[in-house]
């Protein structure tokens, strides 16, 4: 089997629920990139990139150009099962651009799964869990006055972990945590995510004030590059500290381990360049005894399915995950969404990623 071509589609997905972090807010229509990888056997695999320029250095427009001009030409003619070889060929023509690479990586795994009749989790190591506990995220777009009601409603729908976006105003951050804890009592665990919003000293003092509300973990309290600062925070507070923006590649995961900068690692499968390199991050974390979870860039059903398969196949992914992107959208590019119910997302069991792209929706959402 050989790759014969890759089609690239920039799409605009309407947000159903506004979403904001300390880094900024998503626009009313989120920009995503969908790829369709075709082979000489008539098979097609799908992939996705979910850019957020406030979070990383790739835009939708840049991803489209990178795929079309650099990455796709070097993989045409390759056997899609030679994933390590394909990653290396791409690396030799363009450095970085891991979100663009992830779209191809997902499509490679999807087409291999379709050819073999196996779901992607079986290609990653097998089915460790059939359903993955997921987290509801209370973003900074949710006003303090509305937060308790949203938290109570989502706990009532079965979400046993709630994540609160913080990192703008420490006083208000503590109030947000207080409101949620009082609303849900002991029915749900609470984690917070500062998205790099605090200084080291502010992080320590704010987390200590929050700890009376029994935090599960605190995510990326300081700048991603400041591993010394992360280590200071981790040593100064009782709550486990999780690295997100500090870990984009296997190399940065190793640095986090060496500097004891985090107790947990958030593996967003787009950050390292797809499932292939995410496995390397997971292996480093597991060797160091660091548990992980699978985060989200608010992907459509395509990218969400990739993250769910990864979480399903890895024992080291032991914390509730955040693969709930489609719940925030008013539309999707797939025929049927990945099933999310009762606080769990269920692993698709059909071959490949287990989702079917809707060409009608793809054409419609390709129009800004």
> For 269, how many CA atoms within 13 A lie in the half-sphere containing its CB?
33
* Pairing between β-strand 131-133 and β-strand 44-49 as defined by DSSP bridges: unpaired
DSSP letters, 296-338, are -S---HHHHHHHHHHHHH-TTB-S-B---GGGGBS--SBSSPP
Measured at the CA of 265, the angle between CA 258 and CA 110, to 5 degrees, comes to 120
Nearest to 307, CA basis, from 343, 265, 338: 338
* DSSP helix/strand/coil, 196: coil
The two tokens of residue 89 are 């060929």
DSSP letters, 27-58, are -SEEEEEEEEEEETTS-EEEEEE---TTTSS-
Q: Contact 173/207 with Cβ under 8 angstroms?
A: no
Catalytic center residues: 165, 193, 219, 244, 268
């Amino acid at each position: 089997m050989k790759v014969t071509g890759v089609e690239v589609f920039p799409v605009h997905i309407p947000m159903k629920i506004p979403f904001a972090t300390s880094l900024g807010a998503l626009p009313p229509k989120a920009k995503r990139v969908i790829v369709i990888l075709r082979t000489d056997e008539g098979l097609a695999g799908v992939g996705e990139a979910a850019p957020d320029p406030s979070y990383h250095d790739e835009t939708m427009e840049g991803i489209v150009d990178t795929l079309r001009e650099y990455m796709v030409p070097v993989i045409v003619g390759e056997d899609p099962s030679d994933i390590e070889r394909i990653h290396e060929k791409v690396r030799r023509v363009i450095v970085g651009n891991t979100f663009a690479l992830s779209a191809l990586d997902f499509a490679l795994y999807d087409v291999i799964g379709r050819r073999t009749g196996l779901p992607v989790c079986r290609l990653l190591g097998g089915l460790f869990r059939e359903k993955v506990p997921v987290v509801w995220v209370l973003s900074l777009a949710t006003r303090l006055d509305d937060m308790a009601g949203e938290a109570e409603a989502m706990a009532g729908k079965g979400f046993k972990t709630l994540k609160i976006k913080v990192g703008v105003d420490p006083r208000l951050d503590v109030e947000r945590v207080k409101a949620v804890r009082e609303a849900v009592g002991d029915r749900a665990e609470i984690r917070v995510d500062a998205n790099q919003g605090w200084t080291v000293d502010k992080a320590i003092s704010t987390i200590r004030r929050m700890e009376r509300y029994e935090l599960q973990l605190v995510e990326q309290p300081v700048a991603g590059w400041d591993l010394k600062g992360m280590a200071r925070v981790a040593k100064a507070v009782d709550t486990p500290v999780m690295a997100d923006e500090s870990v984009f590649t296997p190399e940065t995961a190793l640095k986090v381990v060496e500097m004891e900068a985090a107790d947990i690692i958030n593996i967003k499968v787009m950050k390292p360049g797809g499932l292939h390199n995410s496995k390397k991050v997971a292996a480093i974390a597991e060797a160091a005894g660091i548990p992980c979870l699978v985060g989200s860039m608010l992907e459509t059903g395509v990218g969400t399915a990739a993250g769910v398969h990864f979480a399903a196949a890895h024992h080291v992914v032991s914390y509730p995950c955040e693969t709930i992107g489609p719940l925030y959208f008013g539309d999707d590019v797939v025929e049927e969404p990945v099933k999310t119910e009762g606080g769990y997302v269920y692993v698709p069991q059909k071959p490949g990623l287990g989702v079917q792209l809707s060409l009608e929706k793809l054409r419609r959402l390709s129009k800004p």
